[in-house]
Homo-oligomer: A and B are copies of this chain.
Amino acid sequence: MVEDRIIATYLIETAFPLEYAAEVMAGEQSTGTFVSVPGETPELKEKHAARVIEVKELEAVSQPSLPHAKIPKGVHTPVYTRGIVKLSFPLQNIGLSLPNLMTMVAGNLYELNEFSGLRLLDIDLPDSFARKYPGPQFGIEGTRKLAGVYDRPMIGTIVKPSIGLKTDEYGPLVRALAEAGIDFIKDDELCADPPCAPFEQRVKVVMEEINRAADKTGKKVMYAFNITGDIDELKRKHDIVYEAGGTCIMVSINSVGLNAVEYLRRYSQLPIHGHRNQWGALSRYPMLGFGFAAYQKLCRLAGVDHLHTNGLNSKFAESNDSVVQSIKDCLTPLFGGYTVMPVLSSAQWAASAIPTYEAVRSVDVIHLAGGGILAHPDGPNAGVLSMIKGWEAAVKGIPLEQYAKRHPELARAIQKFAN
């Protein structure tokens, strides 16, 4: 990585020659303009222009993936070529600035009518970004230390129903989960500070139960309290959690914005659990928006310690290949460290461990299950244990059914949840 350049990788689709389209991108996002301007001197271009460093042709299609794309003059039956483009930007155009990085590598590109498809796949940043943005404060190691869980995934669940539980209903629920030996509980993203369970009261009730269980067992369940709110609320709610002995705060990254996450990171004394709701709006159409490789780096710069990735065979509209790649992206060190813990969820149960481990070869995940724990025929205790045993089988390479012979909680889970 050249120390003073930023490399951005795009998937594009265009009716124009790929090389030309790539130059349009580079111009638009640096020194170029629609009309020629006298000030765009050779010296200025040399210092500030973005450079096209790679253009790789992919397949061609006959229908444009996005509307309102222009076709070259004189062309009557356009062909839309897809390709991978890498641009190199001078760091000095933005300095070490996360928001200005976004404007430079994404910005107005999506609206250029030379393109019938444009997606930012990845960004490569000089190490100096890590000096400006300290990134995940706890990461994988710090999270494990706070939760006291090593050498296996952290097993967790989400409080349900998503919204509407009253404050006094949290006590029994959290007690039951803590007694079941769960490692991690999180608020739903839909529950932040509703009048039926005001934030401060909820923290009090939840932490009473967690601290009581910790006194008994020595294990303090990590609870990710959803502090999503306006800027001032973030600090205030962080303090409420911290003072009550809580060990994790959660924010909806796209609802508060990366600036707010980064601001919280500098203040926080707790790991930040990053919920990526609205990610689908940014990513689900393959020829637009952001790839997760780019997105997770932006989130790490902002300082999240945990980041949602979906789980394998989930009920969300994402392929397993994409989920696996997202988990691997999170587990790939950035700036030589800067670790973030992937959070797997949706339709997960004990058997989900096997394909997950086969694909990612790591136990550094937070694995969330709802029904897979709570609906276990022998109760949540057996539910949690079945998840742990599922991962043991996965790591040891023992087929689930075989491992289940010696682990009844696994056998009962298979009986209940396997189709």
List A residues at the B interface (Cβ < 8 Å): 29-35, 37, 39-40, 44-45, 47-48, 65-70, 92-95, 97-100, 102-104, 106-113, 115, 118, 160-165, 169, 173, 189-190, 192-196, 228-232, 252, 254-260, 262-263, 277-282, 284-290, 310, 315-319, 346-347, 370-371, 374-375
Min CB distance A379 to B, Å, is 13
Query: Within the complex, which residue of B33, B45, B278 is in contact with A106, where a contact is CB–CB below 8 Å?
Result: B278
**Chain B hits for A277, CB < 8 A:** 103, 106-108
B282 near A285: Cβ-Cβ < 8 Å: no
Residues of chain B with a CB closer than 8 A to A69's CB: 317
Given A110-B281, A286-B67: A375 in contact with B35 (beta carbons within 8 A): yes
| Complex Cα gap A297–B397 (Å) | 53
- Note all chain B residues with C-beta closer than 8 A to A290: 281
Chain B residues with CB below 8 A from A99, complex form = 228-230, 252, 255-256
Q: Which residues of B contact A289 (CB under 8 A)?
A: 281-282
In the bound complex, CA of A222 to CA of B92 (Å): 27
Residues of B within 8 A of A346 (CB): 34
Are A370 and B30 touching (Cβ within 8 A)? no
Q: Which of A40, A93, A279 has the most CB of B within 10 A?
A: A93
B108 touches A231 (CB 8 A): no
Chain B residue numbers with a CB within 8 Å of A285 are 65-66, 285, 287-288
Question: B286 near A288 (CB under 8 angstroms)?
Answer: no
Docked pose: A257 CA to B299 CA in angstroms: 13
- Interchain CA distance A293-B94 in the complex, whole Å: 31
A100, B280: Cβ atoms under 8 Å? Answer: no
A262 to B110, CA, bound (A): 25
- Closest chain B residue to A198 by CB distance? B95
Interface pairs (13), CB distance under 8 Å:
A30-B163, A44-B164, A47-B196, A48-B161, A65-B285, A67-B286, A92-B194, A92-B195, A93-B164, A103-B192, A109-B280, A230-B263, A256-B259
Chain B residue at smallest Cβ distance from A290? B281
Partner of A39, one of B37, B65, B165, B286: B165
**Closest beta carbon of chain B to A125's beta carbon, Å:** 16
Which residue of chain B has the shortest Cβ distance to A319 in the bound complex?
A: B68
A196's partner among B70, B92, B263 (CB-CB below 8 A) is B92
Q: Which of B110, B255, B284, B374 contacts A103 (CB 8 A)?
A: B255
Closest residue on chain B to residue A92 by CB atoms: B195
Decide if A278 touches B189 in the complex (CB within 8 Å): no
Residues of B within 8 A of A230 (CB): 97-99, 259, 262-263
Contact of A193 among B32, B95, B108 (CB under 8 A): B95
Q: How far is the CB of A43 from chain B (nearest CB, A)?
A: 9
Whether the Cβ atoms of A370 and B100 lie closer than 8 Å is: no
Shortest Cβ distance from A49 into B: residue: B164
Q: Do the beta carbons of B288 and A281 come within 8 Å of each other? A: yes
Write the nearest CB–CB distance from A390 to chain B, whole angstroms.
Answer: 18
Contact B30 A162 (CB under 8 A): yes
Residues of chain B with a CB closer than 8 A to A165's CB: 39, 44
Interface pair B102/A160, CB less than 8 Å apart: no
CB distance from A32 to the nearest CB of B (A): 8
Q: When the two chains form the complex, which single residue of B33, B112, B318 contacts A317, counting CB atoms closer than 8 Å? A: B112
17 additional A-B pairs beyond A67-B317, A93-B163, A97-B192, beta carbons within 8 Å, are A31-B161, A40-B164, A67-B284, A94-B190, A99-B255, A100-B252, A103-B228, A103-B255, A103-B278, A108-B278, A109-B280, A111-B280, A111-B284, A112-B315, A257-B259, A260-B260, A285-B285
